[in-house]
Amino acid sequence: MSKGKILSTLPSVDELLNHKEILTLVQEVPRRVVVNEIRRSIENYRKKILQIDETSLNTFKIDIEEIIYNIISNSHKFMRMNLREVINGTGTVLHTNLGRSLLSNTIKDEIWDIASGYSTLEIDVSTGKRGSRYSHVTEIIKFLTGAEDALVVNNNAAAVMLVLSTMAKNKEVIVSRGELVEIGGSFRVPDVMEQSGAKLVDIGTTNKTHLWDYENAIGENTAAFLKVHTSNYKILGFTDSVSVKDLVDLGKKNNVPVIEDLGSGVLVDLQKYGLTHEPTVQESVAAGADIVTFSGDKLLGGPQAGIIVGKKCFIDKMKKNPLTRAFRIDKLTMAALEATLKLYLDEENAIKNIPTLRMLTESLDSIKKRTNVLYEMISSKGLDLEVNISSDYSEVGGGSLPLEKLPTCTLTLKSKSISVSQLENKLRKYSRPIFTRVQDDRVIIDLRTIKQEQYEIIVQALVEVMK
């Protein structure tokens, strides 16, 4: 048979629409979605036919069952949310690709009320006049950090850009070479600086920068000193950098403001909970930094946001910068941020109810207990799986505390019938995707980042995967 002949036997859209199974499908899935998938299916089949080589033409048969199966499964796939919840079994708490911080269950209503109703977003209730959307969190941020004023934008990258554009456009900003970081997702300090219109003056060396390096670089065009927290790496060994405090003293003498990009905005002293000390926002403010910027969804544990705190005279100027409008934060984010910050008014409450902090500070004992529960649940199914409990380390992630190794307890899985990479792959493609780690020829599930209500789903997934 010729290709033309085969093509002419392809079913038409109408024929397929009248197929019994498609008639059933149209009861559940909007007709336009089904028609779209039918068209795509026919088109794919047409391409397939055009690609077959002449020798196999005679034996080629159009497989209607396959076409129907694809239409049904793709129509359902099209209807499903593409952005959906997954299970994070990697143990990496701030997993940027899996959405960084999880919001607290306790603030659901606060967010939904603002999302689904009119709100005080930009109105002053006492006067009935226009208000500022930024005002809702100003007081609490000032209270928690000790800063004079605050402003919130979309993310920390935007915050840094806004700060530099406002304070240093067409002027020079002095930065240590050891702090010219790339954060990932193409946030590079030199690039951000160029975009903002500030001119970078890099000083010192990769491993050592001294106070006199800053002092020698001051010129009539100097707008600021910028300190960048090297969030995602550490330089160890023969190193030296200048503290914010010393920089502030030097800045005061020379009338140069100090900007600090903290990266992660920690509001509690993590050392109290057994982690490495991470400079807090309060410490930077107390040391006298004129402007401090940090993320809302790293160690703070809130929604994606960039928070700017510091001297009112600078923040007032930022509010007038047109970039502020371009970087403005949405009401959903504002609600989530305000509600998360309220949890910090009682530190114990914050540790208990902010998932990022809870996961980072969960004791090894507690993780062990939870691992045992899941172990028993899986074992009771009698699957063709070798399940073991093992000791390991979780990571903080999100470019925060890069050297921190959090002792944890994991489940390790191995099957005789499928390979480790197949097992990992199938779990990831499960209807509720489950992300794991592969290590030492085992699939590793770290319970630190898994919620109790997800155990049953994991067991069910393993049952289906091992069928």
Ligand X SMILES: *Cc1c(COP(=O)(O)O)cnc(C)c1O
| Contact residues for ligand X, defined by CB under 6 A | 155-157, 160, 183, 187, 228-229, 231, 261, 263, 295, 306, 399
Written as one letter, the residue type at 435 is: F
Shortest spacing between CB 310 and ligand X, in angstroms? 16
Measured at CB, which residue is nearest to ligand X? 263
Q: Which two tokens stand for residue 458?
A: 């994991």
Q: Which of 365, 420, 360 is nearest to 394 (CA)?
A: 360
Q: Of 111 and 183, which has the nearer Cβ to ligand X?
A: 183
Smallest gap from residue 304 Cβ to ligand X (A):
7
416 SS3 class: coil
Q: Which is nearer to ligand X, 229 or 448 (CB)?
A: 229
Which residues make beta-bridge pairs with 434?
Answer: 87
Query: What interhelical angle do 331-343 and 108-116 show, nearest 10?
Result: 160
Closer to ligand X at the Cβ: 12 or 276?
A: 276
Q: How far is the CB of 394 from ligand X (least distance, A)?
A: 19
Secondary structure of 21-52 in HEC code, one letter for each residue: HHHHHHHHCCHHHHHHHHHHHHHHHHHHHHHC
CB of 206 to ligand X, least distance (A): 17
- DSSP one-letter string for 261-319: EEEE-B-S-GGGGTSPP--BHHHHHHTT-SEEEEESSSTT-SSS-EEEEE-HHHHHHHH
* CB nearer to ligand X: pick between 155 and 415: 155
Closer by beta carbon to ligand X, 257 or else 263: 263
**Nearer Cβ to ligand X (160/374):** 160
Give the SS3 label for residue 60.
coil
Q: Give min distance, CB of 197 to ligand X, in A.
A: 18
CB of 174: closest distance to ligand X in angstroms? 17
How far, in Å, are 71, 227, 308 from residue 291 at the CA level? Answer: 56, 10, 7
Residue 227 or 442 with smaller CB distance to ligand X: 227
Structure-block tokens of residue 453: 């209500």
DSSP string, 167-230: HHTTSEEEEEGGG--B-STT-BHHHHHHHHTPEEEEES-SSB--HHHHHHH--TTEEEEEEE--
Closest residue by Cα to residue 338 from 314, 361, 315, 305: 305
Q: Which is nearer to ligand X, 230 or 415 (CB)?
A: 230
Please report how close the Cβ of residue 12 comes to ligand X at its closest, in angstroms: 50
Contacts of 37 (CB under 8 A, 6+ apart): 70, 71, 74, 75, 78
Q: Are 303 and 333 in contact, with CB atoms under 8 Å apart?
A: yes
Kindly tell me which of 67 and 153 has the beta carbon lying closer to ligand X: 153
Least distance (Å) between residue 153 CB and ligand X: 9
Minimum CB–partner distance for residue 306 and ligand X (Å): 6
